[in-house]
Amino acid sequence: MTVVAVGRTRAPYADDLAHYEKLLRPYVKLDQIELRDDADAEQVARRIPERAHCVLLAIDAPARDSVAQATWLEERRQSGRDLCFVLGGADGLDLDRADERVSFGPITLPHQLARVIVLEQLYRAHRILRGEPYHH
């Protein structure tokens, strides 16, 4: 699984990313790729693994609850393709290469916080899939 993000993560978000990356280790191999703040769609597209199912985070896209996200994750896993989440910078990103777009709802989040939420939601989805307790 890969997360491609425009912009460097700084404190306090860097600690949160490290925390969730550690929590995800038993469940999935995670690669996080950070690009410069001025990276454009072409630069981002070059970092997406070739056969990966690409998910672009976008505020105007459909949202899923945690259980639906876990079900979706299992379906992607069964497809045999790698999974790549792409987060634009503060100005967003339009990416033709995306297989789908998803949102955390109609709120605006700082892009660094959105990246933390991606990892938290992946961790939560893995816990749901294994029938392990998670915070409701």
Percent of the chain with pLDDT over 90: 82
Question: What contacts 24+ positions apart, CB below 8 Å, involve 41-47?
Answer: 41/93, 41/94, 41/95, 41/96, 41/97, 44/4, 44/6, 44/86, 44/88, 44/93, 44/95, 45/95, 45/96, 45/97, 47/4
pLDDT in tens, 82-93: 999 999 987 888
Q: Is the pLDDT of residue 131 over 90?
A: yes
Q: CB neighbours of 63 closer than 8 A, spacing ≥ 6?
A: 102, 103, 104, 105
Q: Which of 7-11, 79-83, 107-111, 117-121 has the lowest mean pLDDT?
A: 107-111
The model's pTM: 0.92
pLDDT at 79: 93
